[in-house]
Structure 1
Amino acid sequence: MSQAPVAIVTGASRGAGKGIAVALGSHGATVYVTGRSQKEGDASMPGTIYSTAEEVTQAGGKGIAVRCDSANDDDVKALFEQVIAEQGRVDILINNAAAIYDELSMPGNFWEKPLKIGDMINVGVRSGFAASWFAAPHMVKQNRGLILFTSSPGAMHYCFGPAYGAHKAGMDKMAFDMGVDFADVGANVAAVSIWMGALTSERLLEMMAAEPEKFKHLEGQLESTGLTGHLAWALYNDPKLMDYNGKTMVGADLAKSYGITDLNGQFAPSFSEGTGIRPVEYGAYKVK
C-alpha cells in the first residue's frame, strides 16, 4: 500500500489538470492522471495522460495514467476501484475535467454557437459530483481527505457565456454543499473550490500568440497551471484544513497567505484585487 498521499486529477492531459498533477508530483504524491487523450491528435490541443504521468514521475512523484471518460459513470467507478485496489486509499481529488470546445471562446451569443458547448455542464458539474460521490465514502472512512474543484471568477461575472458560467458557479456551490455534509458527519474531509486566474495553458498561450493585441492586457498577469496543485498540497497538509471546508477561495490570495510564489518568483496576480469581484458567501441556513 502507498505511503505517499494519493491524488486523482481529472482532465489532466493538458492545461490546468496537467499543471496540478505535476505540481502534486513535485511534492512526492502518487498521482492518478485521468483523461481521454492517449495519443497526440486525440484532441485539438497537444498532450496525453501518459506524457503528463511521465512528467509527474520526473517531478519526484509517481504518475499513473488511467484512460477515463469523466462523462461515463462506469469509467469513473472503475477508476476508483483501481485506485483503492492499488493504494488502499484516496487522499486528494481534483475535479478539473471539463468539456471545453474551441467554439466556446469564439465571438457570438450562446445560441449562435453549437449546442455541444453545453456539454461543459455535464463534463464539469455532473462529472465533478460523480467523482466526489465515489471518493467521499473512502475519505470519510479514512477520516481525512480533500476534494478540490477548479473554478474561476467566471462564476461571478460574464465570461464565455452561460454554459461556462453555470459550470463555474456549480463548482463553487457543490463545494459548499458537500462541505455541509462532511461537517454533519464530523469527518475530517474538506471540499473547496479555487478560483484560478488566467493560466499559462496551451490553449490560452496559443490564443495570445494568434491575437497579441486582443490579449495584450494579460501580459504579466498570468498564473501558472501548477499553482493550484501547490495550493492543494498546502491545504491537505494544513492542520487547519477544516477551516476552509465549503469555501470558495481566490487561488492567488490563498497562495499569498501560504507564501507560495509563482512565475518569476512573484506572487500570482489576484483577479479580485483589480476588480473587487469575490466569491459568494453562501448562507448557513439548512432546510432539514
Structure 2
Amino acid sequence: MTVTLNGKIALVAGATRGAGRGIAVELGAAGATVYVTGRTTRERRSEMDRPETIEETAERVTAAGGRGIAVPCDHLDREQVRALVERIDREQGRLDVLVNDIWGGDQLASWDDSLWEHDLDKGLRILRLAVDTHIITSHYALPLLIRNPGGLVIEVTDGTTEYNDEHYRNSFFYDLAKVSVNRMAFALSKELPEHGATAVSLTPGWLRSEMMLDLFKVTEENWRDATKDQPHFVISESPAYVGRAVAALAADPDVARWNGRSLSSGRLAQVYGFTDVDGSRPDAWRYIVEIEGAGKPADATGYR
C-alpha cells in the first residue's frame, strides 16, 4: 500500500517507544514531518526507567523518509505542552495530525488488587498519566489543528469500545483509564466536525513493544519463540502495524467517515490493505474473543 503524507505535520505525543514509536516512524515513512515527544531523552530517563529515547525515535522517522523532530515534554505540565504547540506553530504554521499516545502507567498497576487494596496514589497517578495528559495536550493543540480543514485526532488506547464495554480490563484503574480514552475520542467527534476535523480512537492488538519483548526474553526477529511459554502470543503484532493504520487514516481523503469510531489496527488492515512487517494481517481482537476468550487452543489460522 502506497501512502503519501508529504507536507503534512504530525505530533505524536508519547512517541518514546511502543505504539507511539511505531506510529511516528510509519508517518515518517509516508513523508510526514513528525514531532515526537516524551520524557526520556539521552540525558534523562523518566520514571519508566527504560533505555529508549525520543531522539532515537526522531532519527528513525528521518531514516524512514520523513523528518523527525524530538521535543522533550511532560504532558502533565501545561507550560511545557503550551510551549511545544507554540513551537510547532512557529516552525510549521499548521498541525494536520495529533496522535495522543501518552501512557507510562504499567509499572504503577497492581493487577491482582481490588480498588480498596490498590495503592491509591499509584492508581490516581495512572489516571493522570492516561487521561489528564491527553486532555491537556488536546486543549493546547486543537486550536492549531483546526486552523486548516482536514485535521485528524487519534486517541490511542487498549481495546475497542465494543470489547472494553463487555470485559473488565484487569484492574480498576487500568480499566477506567483505557475506557476513558475511547470516550475522549467520541466526545471530540462531537466538537470537531464543524471545524472540518475528525476524531477516532485506535487500539493495537497484542503489541510486541520493547517492554513485551523483554518480558518474554525475545526480540522482534525471534518473537515466535515466546509462544512456547504463551501460545496466544501467536496473534501479536509489531508496532509498525498500528503505525501503518495511522498513516492510512491520515492519508484517507474520506477519513471523516470514521469520525467517532473505535478502531483497531486489524480492522483497518482489512479496509486499507496494509500488512504487518511479516506480510500478515493479524486481527487480534477477533482472535481474543473467538479463540483465547473461548478457551480454545492457540491457533492463528484465519486470524493473521
Could you state the TM-score of these two structures normalised by the residue count of structure 1? 0.87
Question: Structure 1 pair 4/39, CA: closer, same or farther in 2 (3 Å)?
Answer: same
Q: Structure 1 residues 84-93 or 248-257, which shifts more?
A: 248-257
CA distance in 2, matches of 1:105, 1:46: 23
| Partner of residue 109, structure 2 | 104
| Partner of residue 242, structure 2 | 228
Question: Structure 1 pair 216/101, CA: closer, same or farther in 2 (3 Å)?
Answer: closer
Q: Cα deviations across residues 154-190 of structure 1 (Å, max 9, x unaligned)?
A: 733223312111111111111111111113x2x2211
Report the secondary structure of 1:63's partner residue: strand
Aligned match for 1:125, one of 125, 131, 135? 131
The one-letter amino acid paired with 1:179 is S
Q: Structure 1 residues 211-220 or 78-87, which shifts more?
A: 211-220
| Partner of residue 283, structure 1 | none
1:24 aligns with 2:27: yes
1:35 aligns with 2:43: no
| Partner of residue 171, structure 1 | 181
TM-superposed deviation, 1:270: 2.8
Aligned match for 2:99, one of 80, 90, 94? 94
Aligned match for 1:248, one of 259, 262, 281? 262
Q: CA RMSD in A?
A: 2.5
Report the secondary structure of 2:270's partner residue: helix
Aligned match for 1:7, one of 5, 10, 30? 10
Question: What percentage of residue pairs aligned between the two structures are identical?
Answer: 34
Q: Structure 1 residues 6-15 or 153-162, which shifts more?
A: 153-162
CA distance in 2, matches of 1:107, 1:209: 23
Aligned match for 1:197, one of 191, 205, 209? 205
Q: Cα deviations across residues 67-102 of structure 1 (Å, max 9, x unaligned)?
A: 100111111111000001001101111100113242
TM-superposed deviation, 1:264: 1.2
CA distance in 1, matches of 2:122, 2:92: 37
Any stretches of 5+ residues in structure 1 without a counterpart? 277-288
| Partner of residue 274, structure 2 | 260
CA distance in 1, matches of 2:229, 2:49: 21
Contact 2:249/2:255 (<8 A) preserved = yes
Question: Structure 1 pair 105/21, CA: closer, same or farther in 2 (3 Å)?
Answer: farther
Q: Cα deviations across residues 189-217 of structure 1 (Å, max 9, x unaligned)?
A: 11100121111101111222399589513
Q: Cα deviations across residues 231-283 of structure 1 (Å, max 9, x unaligned)?
A: 1221122121111111111221111111111141000233135416xxxxxxx
Report the secondary structure of 1:193's partner residue: strand
Contact 1:222/1:269 (<8 A) preserved = no
Contact 1:25/1:56 (<8 A) preserved = yes
TM-superposed deviation, 1:28: 1.0
CA distance in 1, matches of 2:43, 2:266: 32
TM-superposed deviation, 1:14: 1.1
CA distance in 1, matches of 2:39, 2:118: 24
Report the secondary structure of 1:142's partner residue: coil
Contact 2:236/2:284 (<8 A) preserved = no
CA distance in 1, matches of 2:64, 2:16: 16
1:271 aligns with 2:277: no
| Partner of residue 78, structure 1 | 83
Contact 1:8/1:33 (<8 A) preserved = yes
| Partner of residue 143, structure 2 | 137
Question: Structure 1 pair 181/130, CA: closer, same or farther in 2 (3 Å)?
Answer: same
Could you state the TM-score of these two structures normalised by the residue count of structure 2? 0.83
The one-letter amino acid paired with 2:245 is L
Report the secondary structure of 1:98's partner residue: coil
Contact 1:250/1:272 (<8 A) preserved = no
CA distance in 2, matches of 1:122, 1:165: 14
Q: How many residues get paired?
A: 274
Report the secondary structure of 2:31's partner residue: coil
TM-superposed deviation, 1:104: 2.1
